Amino acid sequence: MERNVVKIRKLAIYIKLTYLFRYVKQQNLKIHDIKRWKKSFLYFLYNVKQDNFDYAKRWNIIEGFTKSNIIKLKKGGKAGDANTPILISVVYNEMDRLEIFLNHYRRLGIKKFAILDNGSTDGTVQYLLRQIDVELFQTKDEFETRVKMGWINRLISYYGISRWYLVVDADELFVWQGAETSNISEVVSLMKRKNMMRARALMVDMYPKGLTWNSKDSFEKIFAECKYFDYETFCHKEVEEVYLLYGGPRRRMLGVDVWLTKYPLFKLLDKEILSNPHTIYPYDNTKRPCYFAILHYKFLTGKDKQKMRRNARKGQYAGGSREYKLYVQKLRENEESFNFYYERSAEYKSSKSLARIEEISNIMADGID
């Protein structure tokens, strides 16, 4: 009886997925190896457990992949050699961050940016159209976290899984110890020699010393002051099949246990998909060290505050944007004085400063175990 129920469930999943993949033919963006993607999504849908953190929103990923209307606005530069990742980012009204963002990754060696705009109105699109190394896409479909993962998988399917990718948000700067004297192609070469197609990164919230969360200055003006971080407030946690890190200033000041582990640099293998912002499916629960950091510039300006309020209102993130609702509440209570800085904050002077964080290992010094 139970075996028959499983067969019926799998058949229903297959029929629904096949129906959704019919929408792909109506979209502008081509897919490399469509059979591979259908099989990968089937594997995910068949095997993800009902009590898993990906289960409730699993179809949102598929619909983001198959039904979203993504168009290409302009071609970008050449991607570089096989060891140079294509950087993928989904943006919305990020004009005041883009110059810092693009220049940072250009210094790391990125040659091609695949940026998906989600209906920006602040000049983001016009600025990106002028960047010769940016391949610009756009969708005006409604944002939701797992739908976004569908969009990112769709961009990967456009370029093909034979390449390496670096997936980051506009408020995230990816680094490693020694980033000033090495480039991302060297890092990828090292990962390949160790037969590792993904590596963990720790999200490190950056904040200023003297400015409050309610600053009216632009991000460009505040960026130079955002050079402090927590180095001893992180914790380990195992959630089902995933080994996580959490903590940092958001736990210290706001009491929230947000997931701080990501896998931003990767090459997808057979059956793998990006299932949520923090994991690749099938999951990796190996207790590996973090070889990378994602410097996170989120809680800084008045514009950031407006985004938090919008996210809390729309409920587009995990748990109906539970985390953002808490941020709005805490900010309302301490709007004029809130600051993450405390007496044990560390100053970020260069990538060597990451050595203060016990959970981050030096990939250039000892390789990958």
Residue range 74-82: mean pLDDT, rounded: 89
- 164 and 43 belong to one structural domain: no
CB neighbours of residue 107 within 10 Å:
12
pLDDT above 70 covers what percent of the chain? 86
Range of weakest confidence among 4-8, 26-30, 223-227, 357-361: 4-8
Note down the domain range covering 43: 2-66
- 274 and 342 belong to one structural domain: yes
Distance from C-alpha of 256 to C-alpha of 368, rounded to nearest angstrom: 31
- 111 and 186 belong to one structural domain: yes
- 86 and 49 belong to one structural domain: no
pLDDT at 339 over 90: no
- 46 and 87 belong to one structural domain: no
pLDDT at 15 over 70: yes
Quick one: pLDDT at residue 20?
96
Report DSSP letters for 89-126, one per residue: EEESS-HHHHHHHHHHHHHHT---EEEEE-S--SSHHH
pLDDT digits (tens, 9 = 90+) for 201-220: 999 999 988 766 556 777 88
Q: Give, in degrees to the nearest 5, the angle at Cα 62 between 327 and 124.
A: 55
pLDDT digits (tens, 9 = 90+) for 325-335: 676 676 666 66
Distance from C-alpha of 297 to C-alpha of 236, rounded to nearest angstrom: 22
- 347 and 320 belong to one structural domain: yes
pLDDT digits (tens, 9 = 90+) for 157-197: 999 999 999 999 999 999 999 999 999 999 999 999 988 99
Please identify, among 66, 84, 115, the residue that sits at the C-terminal boundary of a domain.
66
Closest listed residue to residue 37, CA positions, set 23, 49, 51: 23
Categorize the per-residue pLDDT at 242 as very low, low, confident or very high, splitting at 50, 70 and 90.
confident
pLDDT digits (tens, 9 = 90+) for 35-66: 999 999 999 999 999 889 899 999 999 999 99
Quick one: pLDDT at residue 25?
84
Quick one: pLDDT at residue 82?
87
Distance from C-alpha of 352 to C-alpha of 367, rounded to nearest angstrom: 16
Contacts of 199 (CB under 8 A, 6+ apart): 191, 263, 265, 266, 288, 290, 291, 292, 363, 368
Please identify, among 66, 83, 98, the residue that sits at the C-terminal boundary of a domain.
66
Quick one: pLDDT at residue 301?
62
CB 245 within 8 A of CB 237: yes
Range of weakest confidence among 232-236, 285-289, 311-315, 346-350: 311-315
Categorize the per-residue pLDDT at 267 as very low, low, confident or very high, splitting at 50, 70 and 90.
very high
Give the dihedral sign, CA 182/187/193/199.
Answer: positive
- 173 and 104 belong to one structural domain: yes
Quick one: pLDDT at residue 365?
82
Cα within 13 Å of Cα(165), Cβ side: 25
- 203 and 327 belong to one structural domain: yes
- 39 and 101 belong to one structural domain: no
- 250 and 153 belong to one structural domain: yes
CB neighbours of residue 243 within 10 Å:
17
- 273 and 188 belong to one structural domain: yes
Residue range 278-302: mean pLDDT, rounded: 85
Quick one: pLDDT at residue 137?
98
- 164 and 220 belong to one structural domain: yes
pLDDT digits (tens, 9 = 90+) for 108-132: 999 999 999 999 999 999 999 999 9
Quick one: pLDDT at residue 257?
84
pLDDT digits (tens, 9 = 90+) for 215-230: 677 788 788 889 999 9
Quick one: pLDDT at residue 305?
64
pLDDT at 99 over 80: yes
Number of H helices, E strands in the chain: 12, 15
337 vs 28 pLDDT, higher one: 28
Size of the chain, expressed as the number of residues it contains: 369
Whole-prediction pTM value?
Answer: 0.92
CB neighbours of residue 11 within 10 Å:
10
Contacts of 126 (CB under 8 A, 6+ apart): none
Quick one: pLDDT at residue 289?
81
Please identify, among 66, 87, 120, the residue that sits at the C-terminal boundary of a domain.
66
How many domains are contained in the chain?
2
